[in-house]
Amino acid sequence: MIKDYSPPPGAAEAISSDLHVPPELCEALDRFIAEREPGLTRKEALLAVLREWASEHGYLPQSQQSIQPEDLNASNDD
């Protein structure tokens, strides 16, 4: 079930930002890449992890839950 959410007025459709990721999370992300999706960039892996988490916790609409990490690209980066 999707949790009710209304973005605040003026919220952007997508986030584009430089993000500082602490070393321990970079290491965890690198392990995710090595174990589950070799060849992904860190950015692609981060989006895959976030998408998986959001899907598992009911924050992602059903239509967006089936995008696989290897299919992530700028057109579905939302």
Evaluate whether residue 38 is within a structural domain.
yes
Is residue 58 within 8 A of residue 3, CB to CB? The reply is yes
Would you give per-residue pLDDT tens digits along the chain (78 residues)?
556 667 667 665 677 778 899 999 999 999 999 999 899 999 999 999 999 999 889 888 765 545 566 666 766 665
Evaluate whether residue 17 is within a structural domain.
no
* Token pair 């059903």 in the structure block, residue: 62
Evaluate whether residue 39 is within a structural domain.
yes
The pLDDT of residue 12 is 55
Evaluate whether residue 6 is within a structural domain.
no
Q: How many domains does the chain fold into?
A: 1
Greatest extent of the chain over all pairs of C-alpha atoms, in Å: 40
Q: Which tokens is 14 given?
A: 């997508």
Domain that holds residue 43: 23-76
The torsion defined by the Cα of 41, 29, 22 and 60, in degrees rounded to 10, comes to 90
The pLDDT of residue 18 is 86
- Per-residue burial over 53-63, b = 16 or more CB atoms within 10 Å of its CB, e = otherwise: eebeeeebeee
